[in-house]
């Protein structure tokens, strides 16, 4: 049973932030938390955080990998089994480019454009690793609104950059 009330975006973002805190601090990535919610039932379908799963995994990627395993389908076919009214909450804007060569999180979300209806973010991606992140523009261009959940920016940035060398 989900104790968060429908539409309480700040509470979902706080939960995503608590997930981000589970990610190991490293100088080469952001610590991010993500939650995928079925809006029709207000049920959390999956959670994830940076480096939760093996490999150089991002939070959104972990959510989707876990859902794919749960449904017994490859990640690229999740749109065939997921409900049609989902919201993605992520502490940092989904990446539009992966320096590791992995599929960017924005492309993963775009594959689910028929299911993921809205992406809620705590902060836009800082330009530490990728300058000019086009994630928000790509999602909005595909008809997926990207909505900033205000009020947790300082906490999110502190958690996201733990382990980074401060200049």
Q: What are the pLDDT digits (tens) for 11-20?
A: 999 999 999 9
Q: Which among 109, 155, 151 is positioned nearest to 134, based on CA atoms?
A: 109
The model's pLDDT over 31-66, given as tens digits with 9 standing for 90+, comes to: 999 999 999 999 999 999 999 999 889 999 999 999
Pairing of strands 33-38, 86-92: antiparallel
Query: Which residues are 46's β-sheet partners?
Result: 36
Is 85 tagged catalytic? Answer: no
> Given this model, what pLDDT does residue 96 score?
85
Q: Is the pLDDT of residue 129 over 60?
A: no
Contact 82, 36 (CB under 8 A): no
Contact 146, 121 (CB under 8 A): yes
State mean pLDDT over 133-159: 91
Q: What is the pTM of this model?
A: 0.93
* Domains in the chain: ranges and CATH: 13-160 (3.40.140.10)
- The upper half-sphere exposure of residue 119, i.e. CA atoms within 13 Å in the direction of its Cβ, equals 31
Which position among 52, 60, 93, 125 bears the catalytic label? 60
The model's pLDDT over 91-104, given as tens digits with 9 standing for 90+, comes to: 999 988 877 778 99
Contact 75, 110 (CB under 8 A): no
Contact 130, 97 (CB under 8 A): yes
């Amino acid at each position: 049973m989900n104790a968060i009330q429908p539409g309480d975006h700040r509470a979902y973002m706080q939960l995503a932030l608590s997930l981000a805190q589970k990610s190991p601090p490293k100088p080469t990535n952001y610590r991010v938390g993500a939650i995928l919610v079925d809006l029709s039932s207000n049920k959390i379908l999956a959670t994830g955080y940076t480096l939760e799963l093996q490999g150089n995994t991002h939070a959104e990627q972990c959510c989707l990998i876990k859902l794919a395993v749960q449904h017994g389908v490859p990640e690229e076919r999740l749109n065939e089994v997921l409900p049609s009214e989902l919201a993605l909450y992520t502490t940092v804007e989904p990446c539009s480019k992966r320096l590791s060569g992995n599929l960017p999180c924005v492309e993963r979300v775009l594959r689910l454009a028929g299911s993921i209806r809205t992406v809620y973010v705590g902060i836009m991606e800082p330009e530490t690793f990728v300058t000019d992140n086009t994630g928000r523009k790509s999602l909005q261009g595909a008809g997926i609104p990207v909505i900033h959940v205000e009020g947790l920016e300082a906490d999110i940035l502190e958690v996201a950059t733990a382990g980074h060398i401060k200049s």
